[in-house]
Structure 1
Amino acid sequence: MYDWNDLKAFLAVAETGSTLSAAQALRVSQTTVARRIAALEAATRLNLFERRQAGYALTPVGEAMLASAMAVRDAANRFGEAAGARSRDAGGTVSLTTMEIFAVTILPPILRDLRAAHPAIHIHLDTSDEPRDLAAGAADIAIRSSKQPSGGGLVGRRIADNPWTVYCSRDYADRHGIPHTRDELAGHPFIGGGGGVWEPYQAWLRQYGLEDSVVMRYDTASGLLAGVRAGMGLTVLPAFLADREADLIRCLPPKSEDTTGLWLLTHERLRHVPRVRTVLDFLAAELAKLGRG
């Protein structure tokens, strides 16, 4: 099988009549052009040129092969033009929806790097507490914490395990100690609320009879995170982000039933749209790095 670079050398020599002129056109050495011509003749078992003192001349076989070689070059050029057009189509706005607590912790540096790598793509970040309906076009991409995502036509991947468990700040631990069992949790104040995280959080408190331990509630997840960082008490957070908070300490290991997955999702009709595909692949790679960390 011939090498495409050998075929380019064949065309250049056929059009210029010499390996020197072909080398200048291709910006390679004359020796490289001669070597590629020899390699193409060996691969095809055809004598394509007559080597003359004045230069290279096509043999009758070479003349017969020239049209096919030019067709291959034309096809390659069309491929490059199509790829360039697709690359240009990768620009535009992509709407990304996720819980606020992910939007203010793990996502900013990832989106910064996405912007640097793909400046033609603009991200609209939606931190609504209610899951957006991707099928209805409410968002292009979703990052969700769920045991199993639901919704018609959703496609995507599970990026990482995301168990929920109890955290306190290092300052709080220094002053009040760290509860290491579920029985010890009842002796500590809890910070509640957190917008979109409150439903699974409240279910967790109810399961262990700790609803009355909530002494303060925030309306937003960023407020919840600020409260626990300040040492107000304990709170339940998704481990995917809380384990990366240098000021926080995990109080006890999560139970298997408290484990959800972190999912990266889109709708099947969008999965091959260039700008959406670009963002999906970028987010998947960066979030997977965090999951492995």
Structure 2
Amino acid sequence: MENWDDYRVILALYRGKSLRQAALTLNMNHSTVCRRVAQLNRKYAAPVFDCSPKGYLLTAFGESLLASAQQIEAFALRDLRATRSAHIALSGSITLSVPPAIAQFLLLGHLLAFQQRYPQISLNVHTSYQLVDLDSSEADIVVRASNTPPEHLVGRRLFAIAVAYYASRDYLSRTTSQDYRWITACSQNQRPEWLADTPWPDAAIALKIDDLVLRHQAAAAGKGLIRGACYIANAFPELIRIDNHPPEPFQDLWVLTHPDLRQIARIKLLMDFLTEKLSANESLITGKEC
């Protein structure tokens, strides 16, 4: 295949399984992608894609082109990382991926201070709880809570984020223990296992809220009990601990980057900065202050 753009269409449609998703990936409109697929199927003696009720599926011939496309993409991404690693001065851009709650309660002010201290560095902060793909240069540095981060990434494990059980003073004063209700995450379809270890394992679940911070806000507003992160609960004066057990470690906190980027001066600078600022809050994050 002579045109790298054809390979990009194959990769986008293979991964997205629909013209709509491929168009979003390629930053094209739906009709353009449709025409490109039709051109691909006419370009060779055998079609590249079959359209099925499950979406666009690669033919056997298309599978062979996919393997080549993946290899070319890997080479291109490697070259991109190498180019970025060649810029060793304290200037240029850094893309940081950080969970929204950690950004809000632990790092926001520090990140603003970092940018003011190093104005030649353009700091792009993406907030997400999902671990972005550093191999594809979706970010340069990630701060993540995880017990199993990708093994090939490099960086530092700091310490464990602790959780404890909280409710508002008002809720506890007007609610008997027989009427206690829990607030949990939406992803927990059944009763979460951790409820069995609480002082009120049989209490019903009142609300399921996907957003981590909103669960803390709901508890602070007197809507129920939560298992909350100590560093977030500390920001809500209305919340108090509701048992005498010490906070429990939940997930390890990491500052990570790709091996190809670790020697870049600005990457090392920000990683050291993040490590310093998060370590300064170790007692709060690990629950020693809650």
- TM-score, normalization by structure 2: 0.57
> What letter matches 1:190 in structure 2?
W
- Structure whose CA Rg is larger: 1
Tell me the percent identity.
27
1:206-225 CA-to-partner distances (Å, cap 9, x unmatched) read 77695972211223223222
Q: What's the counterpart of residue 93 of structure 2?
A: 93
1:204 partnered with 2:204: no
Post-superposition offset of 1:257: 6.7
1:113 partnered with 2:103: no
Write the mapping of 1:132-281 to structure 2, written as runs, cut at 5 A.
132-146=132-146, 148-176=147-175, 187-193=179-185, 202-205=192-195, 210=201, 213-252=204-243, 258-281=249-272
Q: What's the counterpart of residue 127 of structure 2?
A: 127
Contact 2:152 2:259 (8 Å CA) reproduced: yes
Contact 2:165 2:225 (8 Å CA) reproduced: yes
Post-superposition offset of 1:93: 2.4
Post-superposition offset of 1:275: 1.9
> What letter matches 2:279 in structure 1?
A
Post-superposition offset of 1:288: 0.6
Distance in 2 (alpha carbons) for counterparts of 1:267 and 1:254: 38
Q: Look up the SS of the partner of 1:227 in the other structure.
A: helix
Distance in 2 (alpha carbons) for counterparts of 1:210 and 1:258: 19
Structure 2 segments unaligned to the other structure (5+ residues): 1-85, 285-290
> What letter matches 1:204 in structure 2?
W
1:3-57 CA-to-partner distances (Å, cap 9, x unmatched) read xxxxxxxxxxxxxxxxxxxxxxxxxxxxxxxxxxxxxxxxxxxxxxxxxxxxxxx
Distance in 1 (alpha carbons) for counterparts of 2:119 and 2:202: 47
Contact 2:163 2:247 (8 Å CA) reproduced: no
Distance in 2 (alpha carbons) for counterparts of 1:112 and 1:193: 31
Post-superposition offset of 1:282: 0.9
Write the mapping of 1:53-92 to structure 2, written as runs, cut at 5 A.
89-92=89-92
Q: Look up the SS of the partner of 2:260 in the other structure.
A: coil
Distance in 1 (alpha carbons) for counterparts of 2:149 and 2:204: 32
Aligned residues: 197
Q: What's the counterpart of residue 290 of structure 1?
A: 281
Tell me whether 250-259 or 279-288 shows the greater mean CA deviation.
Answer: 250-259
Contact 1:194 1:223 (8 Å CA) reproduced: no
Distance in 1 (alpha carbons) for counterparts of 2:93 and 2:156: 22
Contact 2:171 2:223 (8 Å CA) reproduced: yes
> What letter matches 1:166 in structure 2?
Y
> What letter matches 1:97 in structure 2?
S
> What letter matches 2:181 in structure 1?
P
1:48-71 CA-to-partner distances (Å, cap 9, x unmatched) read xxxxxxxxxxxxxxxxxxxxxxxx
- TM-score, normalization by structure 1: 0.56
Give the CA RMSD over aligned residues: 3.3
